[in-house]
Amino acid sequence: MSTPIRASSILPGHREDIELHTADGLRLVGELARPADREPAATLVCFHPLPTHGGMMDSHVLRKAAWRLPALADLAVLRFNTRGTSSLRGTSEGAFDGAVGERFDVAAAIEYAEFAELPKIWLLGWSFGTDLILKYGCDPAIEGAVLLSPPLRFSAPDDLATWAESGKPLTALVPEFDDYLRPAEARERFAAIPQAEVVGVDGAKHLWVGDAETALDEVVRRVNPAVPVPLPTTWDGPMEAGDVSAYADRTVASFADTPVPGPAQNRAG
């Protein structure tokens, strides 16, 4: 019997807690999710929104990617907390560094995916995470990148030039009603990268509340085009339920002017 896939649904997969180790000596906490019974066709390495305003590895679009895409799209999903960031998984060492020291976090995540021999590594960033990708993610090991709600706040013209020279595919999913960068302006600014694709998403806002499925469909369309989209909204088979209540306040508070504290942790990080 088919069961609707909801925000709390965890579809079958192999999930393991991981640690990343940065070149400047920090330990970052994360998780790697893989398909339960087959090798992944491709890999997403995820970079979360601004941690000073609620962003973390469990920000809802990234959490749904990890809970659904190993089963629905044959993808491995690696997500982690950047330096100083907390979630139920734990707290990564260090402190938020305004997209400076985070260059080591990006390198550590890509390196982990390489050493784990994960296939076809794509980067997926949301808001602040898109700036980390633009600044530090254009690595020979990656296939390309997908950006959700890129504000182009920390990245500079030189960063865009690096991507332009690489020729690597880059897709920006830009909400129609984004708080920071809307589709028309995004097309102007990403014109510096000839191969960049800017996709305006009608009706969507920066937080993707109510539009996470649209975002995941567009990600899968580029990362594993062999999978039909839209992805299924029901599942025939076993399904677990995750606890999303710990993050209700952070989904709403993300990107607000007042930082919010991390949730209580249920295990050591």
Omega before 150 cis (within 30°)? no
With respect to CATH, is domain 3-253 assigned 3.30.379.10? no
User: Residue 261 pLDDT > 60, yes or no?
Assistant: no
pTM for this one? Answer: 0.92
User: Residue 229 pLDDT > 80, yes or no?
Assistant: yes
Distance between CA 93 and CA 269 in Å, rounded?
9
Q: Which residues contact 205 (CB under 8 A, 6 or more apart)?
A: 175, 177, 178, 179, 211
Alpha helices in the chain, H assignment, sequence order: 60-73, 102-115, 128-136, 157-166, 183-190, 212-223, 248-253
- The band of 76, judged by pLDDT with boundaries at 50, 70 and 90, is very high
Positive or negative: CA dihedral 91, 95, 96, 97 = negative
Kindly report, residue by residue over 140-150, the tens digit of the pLDDT.
999 999 999 99
Sorted by where each begins, the domain ranges of the chain are: 3-253
What's the mean pLDDT in 227-245?
93
Distance between CA 96 and CA 52 in Å, rounded?
8
What's the mean pLDDT in 19-31?
98
User: Residue 6 has which token pair?
Assistant: 């909801």
- In one-letter notation, the amino acid at residue 247 is Y
User: Residue 137 pLDDT > 90, yes or no?
Assistant: yes
What is the separation, in whole angstroms, between the first and last Cα of the chain? Answer: 38
